[in-house]
Amino acid sequence: MTDFKKLEDFDFNGKKVLVRVDLNVPVANGAVTDSTRIERLAPTMSYIVEQGGTPILLSHFGRPKGQVNKDMSLAVVVPAIQKAFGQPVEFVDTDWTDVSAATEHIAKGAAGTIFVMENTRFHAGEEANDLDLAKRMASLGDIYLNDAFSAAHRAHASTEALARELPSGAGRAMEAELSALQAGLGKPQTPVVAIVGGAKVSTKLDLLENLLTKVEGLVIGGGMANTFLHAEGIDVGKSLCEKDLADTARRIYDKSADENCAIILPVDGVVAWHFEANAPHRTYGLEAMDKEGMILDAGEKSIERIKGAIDEAKTVIWNGPLGAFELDPFGHATIEVARYVAERTKQGKLVSVAGGGDTVAALAKAGVVQDFTYVSTAGGAFLEWMEGKPLPGVEALKA
């Protein structure tokens, strides 16, 4: 956390401050439906404005693949930004090939105005991390801040090359994110228990391999647990299961023993015969799975085991739900465990860090987002961080 500059290290007075933010927020019928990512930018914005600087926001929105596509214009987020920051906001249109009109627009702005630039991905140079595009971006400002942890796994012009073109540092949200993550896995209080769920092992192999070497307990849940159970010779019936990954699962298991990491798998499952909300269901022990059914959630015995592991932990990090949480009542295990982690966090018994789109939705459903020590709004970036990979947008800020 000491290897890059923070807000206090700059003099923003009279300066134009390019801030890479993540305005890739959900939108429906022309309005932002969840402004969590925007609200988290407020401390950086108010700091810059109070110090006499002019924030110029840079972000991608959707995946327009290097083409101007007005369906993905960032103009749509302006009202939400105005509401969150209580400051006048102006949208600056550009296709990023020539920024002279944008430069003039910004020069004419009144003091205290926040500018929102058009979608950086309207130009192919963004995803190509193109230096010429980064130089055009740099020409718009004097200082660069990155406040978009959730886009930091991308080596793009606005997250990577641009950081090298101007004096650069981390905004408040980025700083908070990095220090929370440091507490979660960088220099955590041990023992650490990681909870990893979700549908597929195949998307989380790097994650599991990295966690094994770092944590004392690894709870594997959700559909991916079935692959591990299958590898152990358990018949999981019609459950989601990547049978071709049985060898991989066994290798991960063996490695966990070498690393003194306890893998905690379900010991029972809530089985249904249709993948739908409120489908008839019954809990089975693993030895007696119904071959026609599919496991959609962890059972009570499994939940008790997971709670037992959490009782031992001083740090819990979490990515991925423990069942088909989007279908009632199969979110039961996820919600139950989330509330338990939240409770122990409130009692000061552990530090809890969670992230990833599904995970945040699950914690929101459990009503405990505020009770975790930190909940990251990042998806891919949080996962890559948990995988132990360097994030280009963070690396570029280091001096």
Residues contributing to the site for ligand 3PG (CB under 6 A): 22, 24, 63, 150-151, 154, 379-380
**Nearer Cβ to ligand 3PG, position 315 or 319?**
319
The partner in contact with residue 22, picked from ligand 3PG, Mg ion, none with C-beta cut-offs of 5 to 8 angstroms by kind, is: ligand 3PG
Q: Shortest approach of ligand 3PG to residue 234 CB, angstroms?
A: 35
Q: Does 379 bind Mg ion (CB under 5 A)?
A: yes
Show Cβ contacts of residue 363 under 8 Å, excluding neighbours closer than 6 positions.
Answer: 338, 354, 369, 372, 375
User: What number of chain residues touch Mg ion (CB under 5 A)?
Assistant: 2
In the bound complex, what is the minimum distance in angstroms from residue 320's beta carbon to ligand 3PG?
15
Cβ 252 to ligand 3PG shortest distance, Å: 26
CA dihedral 308, 195, 230, 297 (to 10 degrees): 80
Which residue's CB is nearer to ligand 3PG, number 120 or number 227?
Answer: 120
Taking CA atoms, 47 is separated from 50, 202, 325, in Å, by 5, 43, 39
Q: Which does 150 bind (CB under 5 to 8 A by kind): ligand 3PG, Mg ion, none?
A: ligand 3PG
Which of the residues are catalytic? 37, 200, 357, 380
Q: Which is nearer to Mg ion, 336 or 358 (CB)?
A: 358
Pair of tokens at residue 343: 């409770």
- Looking at beta carbons only, is 212 or 353 nearer to ligand 3PG? 353
User: Of all helices (H) and strands (E), which one includes residue 92?
Assistant: strand 89-92
CB under 5 to 8 A by kind: which of Mg ion, ligand 3PG, none does 63 bind?
Answer: ligand 3PG
Q: How far apart are CA 301 and CA 305, in angstroms?
A: 6
Nearer Cβ to ligand 3PG (24/119): 24
**Closest to 353 measured CA to CA, from 384, 322, 314, 380:** 314
CA pair distance 298, 38, nearest whole angstrom? 35
How far are the Cα atoms of 238, 284, 295 from residue 248, in angstroms, in the given order?
20, 26, 21
Q: Which listed range, 206-214, 266-274, 325-333, 375-383, lies at the site for Mg ion (CB under 5 A)?
A: 375-383
Minimum distance of ligand 3PG from residue 61's CB (angstroms): 9
Binding flag, residue 393, Mg ion (CB under 5 A): no
Residues 263-302 that bind Mg ion (CB under 5 A): none
Q: Cβ-closest residue to ligand 3PG?
A: 24
Rounded to 5 degrees, φ, ψ at 291 are -70, -20
Helices 300-312 and 332-346 pack at an angle, to 10 degrees, of 20
Rounded Cα gap, residues 241 and 266, in angstroms: 14
Contact 339/345 with Cβ under 8 angstroms? Answer: no
Task: Work out the angle at residue 206's Cα, subtended by the Cα atoms of residues 201 and 207, and round it to the nearest 5 degrees.
Answer: 75
Min dist CB 275 to Mg ion, Å, is 24
Q: How far from 34 is each of 27, 31, 40, CA to CA, in Å?
A: 8, 9, 12
Contact yes or no for 345/372 (Cβ under 8 A) = yes
- For the bound state, the minimum distance from the C-beta of residue 150 to Mg ion, rounded and expressed in Å, comes to 8
356 near Mg ion, judged by CB under 5 A: no
Nearest residue to Mg ion on Cβ basis: 379
Determine the interface stretch with Mg ion among 58-66, 175-183, 371-379, 391-399 (rule: CB under 5 A). Answer: 371-379
Q: Which amino acid is at 318?
A: W
Using the contact rule CB under 5 A, the part of the chain among 101-109, 186-194, 253-261, 373-381 near Mg ion is 373-381
Decide whether 62 or 66 has the Cβ nearer to Mg ion. Answer: 62
Closer by beta carbon to ligand 3PG, 335 or else 381: 381
3-state SS, 297-343, equals EECHHHHHHHHHHHHHCCEEEEECCCCCCCCCCCCHHHHHHHHHHHH
Q: How far is the CB of 258 from ligand 3PG (least distance, A)?
A: 34
Binding site residues, Mg ion, CB under 5 A: 379-380
